[in-house]
Amino acid sequence: MSASTATDVTAVVTVLATAAKKASRSLATLTTAQKDAVLRDAADAVDAAADTILAANAEDVSRAEIAGTEASLVDRLRLTPERIAGITDGLRQVASLPDPIGQVVTGKTLPNGLDLRQVRVPLGVVGFVYEARPNVTVDGFGIAFKSGNAVLLRGSSSAAMSNEALVGVLREVLTRSSVSPDAVALLPSASHDSVTALIQARGLVDVVIPRGGAGLISAVVRDAKVPTIETGTGNCHVYVHADADVDIATRIILNAKTRRPSVCNTAESVLIDKAIAAEALAPLMSALQSQGVVIHGDEDGMEPATEDDWHREYLSLDIAMKIVDGLDEAIEHIAVYGTGHTEAIVTKSLQAANEFTARVDAAAVMVNASTAFTDGEQFGFGAEIGISTQKLHARGPMGLTELTSTKWLVWGDGQVRPA
Amino acid sequence: MSASTATDVTAVVTVLATAAKKASRSLATLTTAQKDAVLRDAADAVDAAADTILAANAEDVSRAEIAGTEASLVDRLRLTPERIAGITDGLRQVASLPDPIGQVVTGKTLPNGLDLRQVRVPLGVVGFVYEARPNVTVDGFGIAFKSGNAVLLRGSSSAAMSNEALVGVLREVLTRSSVSPDAVALLPSASHDSVTALIQARGLVDVVIPRGGAGLISAVVRDAKVPTIETGTGNCHVYVHADADVDIATRIILNAKTRRPSVCNTAESVLIDKAIAAEALAPLMSALQSQGVVIHGDEDGMEPATEDDWHREYLSLDIAMKIVDGLDEAIEHIAVYGTGHTEAIVTKSLQAANEFTARVDAAAVMVNASTAFTDGEQFGFGAEIGISTQKLHARGPMGLTELTSTKWLVWGDGQVRPA
């Protein structure tokens, strides 16, 4: 049998996950000062190893170019001295963030004298499955480590050399700091088998967070036997209410679509109230088209839309546009086609804003603001590991706190429970 | 094809789940006063229908007796006028609890003037899978409804008539109150197919909570495509530290084992520190044996233990007992054999108490207190739907708040995000 069979890959993942589980128990009791020192040492060590890391990355880039990989993907894969500086700045920033571990969430003294506290604890072992960008390798370690978790990283095979170089540096720093190096491990990336092994490692892995396209996320959620957090898919709508300020609507939609079309908080669909269509449609279409946006819809001057367009997460300079007959139809459309990421209304009516925010079911609901604001950094989290579109455990941008659980501590002096 | 094929059952569950999803959207916007009025009406209606409910229950009980069902199971199935009063008292109590929906969890004004709030919202559609007790049918509805969720109930086939009578009353009350009756539905219980359909209804069901034995829970977690919350399995340990007060240790272990042996917070294993074994073992064994407890272990006077005994959740008057060589071995034993429910230490040493609570990974960790205190009512939640032994979303006793999610509301006046 060759080293790449599914059985062998599963065995490798199990060994790494078992070691991570063991390491996670000691991480849970590190002090904040100890963790921050490791994170700053790791930043220095990555800076110091920049040449080695860049050389490894050059091999990945060269392999990708020879394989004829799309230029935008090669760009995401490529490291530069500036990007390495960005990575190590990120580690230092995480070191400076407040530590969620040990925080007392709630507590009280019960009538029988028992002292009850709910305190934040790490999840244990966190798995990340992600795509080409090697910076996620270090970001993922930083956020997981600060929140007291061991982390299993399953990056893209296209970044294998870069990731090995980066994780090698991180493991050396941990060893030097007398922390188990198994607190971070890189899983094999040659096949999907390591993803399958990771998401089925019950008892070893506490949560898996897939970061990537809809296909990856749904495969992970479908086959997982461990808890997962769905991230990212965003079919975000902007609804231009009958009582909207058309200038504000235009500015918001333009920003939400064109600022960074490839990210999950970009607007993919515009709903225009019938009552304001005559006034709003022309300036809105003209503003979007002047920025090169292709509009899909049923009106003149649009690319004819099919049912598929209402579902699409284009992630490009395309947007779907539909005229709706009032607030109820807008909310109903969003309920049917939205992905629960971010939904926005533009209106001057307080009642419409209240109804929209109360009735629309999404991680973030915006009134007169760009969907681009759904972002951990914008919300003031300091670091973000993704945007959850599920309702359990975490919803919306996820920071350090979202990588924690809680534990109840009950201190007494011999209390027993009456029959 | 007969009406009981898996395909037909799946179709029925899909219809009920689709209707529940639709109903859940209107539940999310009910006021607390509206919900509390429905819950009080439901209590009155169940009281008024007591005769019909008792007659239906008598059929279930008679069927169970004819089938030779164990007496303790028949007892759990049986309703009496007193038990119906307990059920309706429960509904009135839930009506009197604070409503978690709409609570602002956190919030702030961002530098750009955006007003950011994280507010509590319902999960949407909650599925409960449970066993014989018909009171869970009404409790489950009450807790789900108060927290703004629709609920799909999959009870035991042995309680089918009782559950139909109860859910019939609840749906009538909803209709009378102009709330969609689809906010509560009873799933077919003749086969496991309805459980499978429920836990695979992605997009319709937001969470499934299995309440029952380890077999049910692991089957649900293994086959689920929707998020689940593991509940209940408790292999709870009491560790008698070298520096324990033996009288307190004895009192706690006796209470934790014998108060209600069949519940998940009962103590199943005692770990005795070698340093105190000579002093503690005899009085502890004698106290337990005088209450009819069978002790499984390696010492004289115990039933010889096998590896299996360290894993067992006896739920009976049996307990495993092991002598360990210090705190580290106790913590290691618990890490290997514990189920993450409740673990306790008896000690006078502050340092040992601190180490134990920091290093033991469980939903509840007790110092000098009985494991029997892990309970929503004891913690002051007012109502409990189970005890989560997983780390994601909810850990420990679950009340109304654990059936909620959150949503970010972002209010602005035209803000866009800079490039």
Is B419 part of a structural domain of the chain?
no
Q: Number of folded domains in chain B?
A: 2
Facing residue for B405 by CB, picked from A207, A378, A395: A395
Facing residue for B365 by CB, picked from A372, A378, A409: A409
Facing residue for B207 by CB, picked from A110, A248, A392: A392
Whether the pLDDT of residue A5 is over 80: the answer is no
- Minimum distance, in Å, between the CA of residue B67 and any CA atom of chain A: 33
Whether the pLDDT of residue B49 is over 90: the answer is yes
Is B134 part of a structural domain of the chain?
yes
Whether the pLDDT of residue A1 is over 50: the answer is no
Tens digits of per-residue pLDDT, A65-117?
Answer: 999 998 888 998 999 999 999 999 999 999 999 999 999 999 999 999 999 99
- Minimum distance, in Å, between the CA of residue B68 and any CA atom of chain A: 30
Cβ neighbours of B379 in A, within 8 Å: 110, 116, 408
| For helices B32-48 and B135-146, angle between their N-to-C axes, nearest 10 degrees | 160
Whether the pLDDT of residue B380 is over 90: the answer is no
Tokens for A260, please give them.
């960074």
Facing residue for A415 by CB, picked from B221, B359, B369: B369
Cβ neighbours of B252 in A, within 8 Å: 414, 416
Contact status, residue B390 vs residue B230, Cβ threshold 8 Å: yes
Confidence of residue B233 (pLDDT cuts 50, 70, 90): confident
Same domain? For B265 and B342 the reply is yes
Is B150 part of a structural domain of the chain?
yes
Q: How far apart are CA A296 and CA A277, in angstroms?
A: 16
Among all residues of chain B, which has the CA nearest to that of A337? B203
Inform me whether the C-beta atom of residue A365 falls under 8 Å from chain B C-beta atoms.
yes
Facing residue for B392 by CB, picked from A118, A227, A378: A227
Same domain? For A180 and A270 the reply is no
- Minimum distance, in Å, between the CA of residue A56 and any CA atom of chain B: 31
- The mean predicted confidence, pLDDT, of chain A is 94
Sheet holding A294-297, edge to edge: A303-304, A294-297, A318-324, A267-273, A236-240, A342-346, A364-369, B404-415, B115-122, B104-109
Inform me whether the C-beta atom of residue B396 falls under 8 Å from chain A C-beta atoms.
yes
- The mean pLDDT of A133-153, rounded to a whole number, is 96
Confidence of residue A4 (pLDDT cuts 50, 70, 90): low
Confidence of residue A59 (pLDDT cuts 50, 70, 90): very high
Same domain? For A206 and A60 the reply is yes
Inform me whether the C-beta atom of residue B97 falls under 8 Å from chain A C-beta atoms.
no
Q: How far apart are CA A262 and CA A257, in angstroms?
A: 9
- Minimum distance, in Å, between the CA of residue B376 and any CA atom of chain A: 12
Within A138-220, strands assigned E span 150-154, 184-186, 207-210
Cβ neighbours of A108 in B, within 8 Å: 380
CATH at A283: 3.40.309.10
Cβ neighbours of B378 in A, within 8 Å: 110, 417
Whether the pLDDT of residue B2 is over 60: the answer is no
Whether the pLDDT of residue B144 is over 90: the answer is yes
Beta-bridge mates of residue A409: A117, B365
Is B177 part of a structural domain of the chain?
yes
Tokens for B386, please give them.
């189970």
CATH at A90: 3.40.605.10
Instruction: State which H helix or E strand residue A22 sits in.
Output: helix A6-27
Among all residues of chain B, which has the CA nearest to that of A222? B225
- The mean pLDDT of B99-104, rounded to a whole number, is 97
Tens digits of per-residue pLDDT, A303-361?
Answer: 999 999 999 999 999 999 999 999 999 999 999 999 999 999 999 999 999 999 999 99
Same domain? For B173 and B274 the reply is no
Inform me whether the C-beta atom of residue B23 falls under 8 Å from chain A C-beta atoms.
no
Same domain? For A340 and A367 the reply is yes
Same domain? For A269 and A288 the reply is yes
Same domain? For B148 and B277 the reply is no
Predicted local confidence at residue B1, as pLDDT: 40
Q: How far apart are CA B91 and CA B83, in angstroms?
A: 13
Facing residue for A414 by CB, picked from B248, B259, B410: B248
- The mean pLDDT of A129-158, rounded to a whole number, is 95
Inter-chain residue contact A373 with B409, CB threshold 8 Å: no
- Minimum distance, in Å, between the CA of residue A122 and any CA atom of chain B: 9
* DSSP code of residue A228: B
Tens digits of per-residue pLDDT, B329-338?
Answer: 999 999 999 9
Which residues 212-241 of A have a C-beta within 8 angstroms of B? 221-222, 225, 227, 229
- The mean predicted confidence, pLDDT, of chain B is 94
- C-beta pairs of A294-300 under 8 Å, 24+ apart in sequence: A294/A318, A294/A319, A295/A319, A295/A320, A295/A321, A296/A320, A296/A321, A297/A321, A297/A322, A298/A322, A298/A323, A299/A323
Same domain? For B304 and B223 the reply is no
Same domain? For B39 and B181 the reply is yes
Predicted local confidence at residue A218, as pLDDT: 80
Same domain? For B129 and B240 the reply is no
Residue in the block written with tokens 């100890």: A34
Predicted local confidence at residue A20, as pLDDT: 98
Tens digits of per-residue pLDDT, B340-364?
Answer: 999 999 999 999 999 999 999 999 9
ipTM for the complex shown: 0.92
Tens digits of per-residue pLDDT, B202-224?
Answer: 989 999 999 877 788 888 878 88
Predicted local confidence at residue A319, as pLDDT: 98
Is B348 part of a structural domain of the chain?
yes
Is A356 part of a structural domain of the chain?
yes
Residue in the block written with tokens 């029952």: B212
Inform me whether the C-beta atom of residue B210 falls under 8 Å from chain A C-beta atoms.
no
Inform me whether the C-beta atom of residue B248 falls under 8 Å from chain A C-beta atoms.
yes
Facing residue for A416 by CB, picked from B251, B379, B407: B251
- The mean pLDDT of B1-28, rounded to a whole number, is 87
Whether the pLDDT of residue B3 is over 60: the answer is no
Q: What's the number of CA atoms in the CB half-sphere (13 Å) around residue B91?
A: 27
Predicted local confidence at residue A344, as pLDDT: 98
- The mean pLDDT of B372-398, rounded to a whole number, is 92
- The mean pLDDT of B53-70, rounded to a whole number, is 96
Contact status, residue B415 vs residue B112, Cβ threshold 8 Å: yes
| Pair type for strands B236-240 and B267-273 | parallel
Among all residues of chain B, which has the CA nearest to that of A361? B407
Contact status, residue A20 vs residue A161, Cβ threshold 8 Å: no
Which residues 310-339 of B have a C-beta within 8 angstroms of A? 335
Q: How far apart are CA A63 and CA A57, in angstroms?
A: 10
Inform me whether the C-beta atom of residue B245 falls under 8 Å from chain A C-beta atoms.
yes
Inter-chain residue contact B369 with A227, CB threshold 8 Å: no
Range of weakest confidence among A13-22, A336-345, B3-12:
B3-12
Whether the pLDDT of residue B137 is over 90: the answer is yes
Same domain? For A210 and A285 the reply is no
Cβ neighbours of B416 in A, within 8 Å: 251-252, 254-256, 259, 369-370, 372
Is B387 part of a structural domain of the chain?
no
Cβ neighbours of A287 in B, within 8 Å: none
Range of weakest confidence among A6-10, A116-120, A303-307:
A6-10
Same domain? For B294 and B211 the reply is no
In terms of residue numbers, what domain contains A58?
A: 19-230+394-410
Is A251 part of a structural domain of the chain?
yes
Cβ neighbours of B28 in A, within 8 Å: 358-359, 361
Cβ neighbours of A374 in B, within 8 Å: 408, 410
How many CB pairs (< 8 A) connect A and B?
204
